[in-house]
Amino acid sequence: MLKLWRKAAGLEPSRVDCTIERVDGIDADAVIEPRMRAWYLHLLDTAPLHLLAATDASRTIHVDYCEWHEGAAGLLPDTVRRLLEVHVTGWKCHAVPCSPQEQPRRHRLALNPYSAPGPAHPLCTLYGRRIHVLPFEAGDFVDYALAVTDPGPEVYTLDDSLLSTIPTEIYDEH
């Protein structure tokens, strides 16, 4: 990825048929790498889902049963950038996290015994990094969680078409 960024900035290909020694200058890689990482994380957060790799992150998502609302809550790990759907043992289908705009309506419906979330119509909400799932019984656990995850600073997994969004200017204009 660093080589692609260097090429986009006009810093590649390198001349290897001659040598030049300088004792001053800019470490271009040190300038590029933080911008490259920020660009990638922004893509994970905003790019169309069909251009990103989604994986099962259920092993990293742990929720705790809350008796007072018969649901569970927990924090998403830092590696999960976007949660796409969740399944808890005992549910008959997956739940897609409801949008912030839907949350007030869904929570009002959850208070009504006729429209409350159940195994056939579960509810998943996100409040920042906090996840809430309903229904949930003691002993249940998240057995599937499709998510866009950050594999770490050394790995970049994305569709080739997103490479066209690499900026050609590597320096901030500020």
pLDDT of residue 174: 44
Q: Are 69 and 34 a contacting pair, CB within 8 Å?
A: no
pLDDT of residue 149: 96
* Beta strands 142-149 and 64-66, pairing class: unpaired
3-class secondary-structure state, position 146:
strand
Band of pLDDT at residue 3, cut at 50, 70 and 90: confident
Which of 163-169's residues contact partners 24+ apart within 8 Å by CB, and which partners? Answer: 163/4, 165/39, 165/43, 166/4, 166/5, 166/8, 166/39, 167/8, 167/35, 167/39, 168/8, 168/9, 168/10, 169/9
pLDDT of residue 99: 82
Q: What is the mean pLDDT of residues 24-30?
A: 75
pLDDT of residue 138: 87
Q: Which two tokens stand for residue 66?
A: 């809350």
The single residue listed with the structure tokens 């950050």 is 150
Is the pTM value of this prediction over 0.85?
no
- In this predicted structure, which of 26-35, 45-54, 164-173 has the lowest mean pLDDT? 164-173
Q: What is the mean pLDDT of residues 45-63?
A: 95
Q: Would you say residue 156 has pLDDT above 70? A: yes
pLDDT of residue 24: 67
- In this predicted structure, which of 17-26, 40-49, 86-95, 131-140 has the lowest mean pLDDT? 17-26
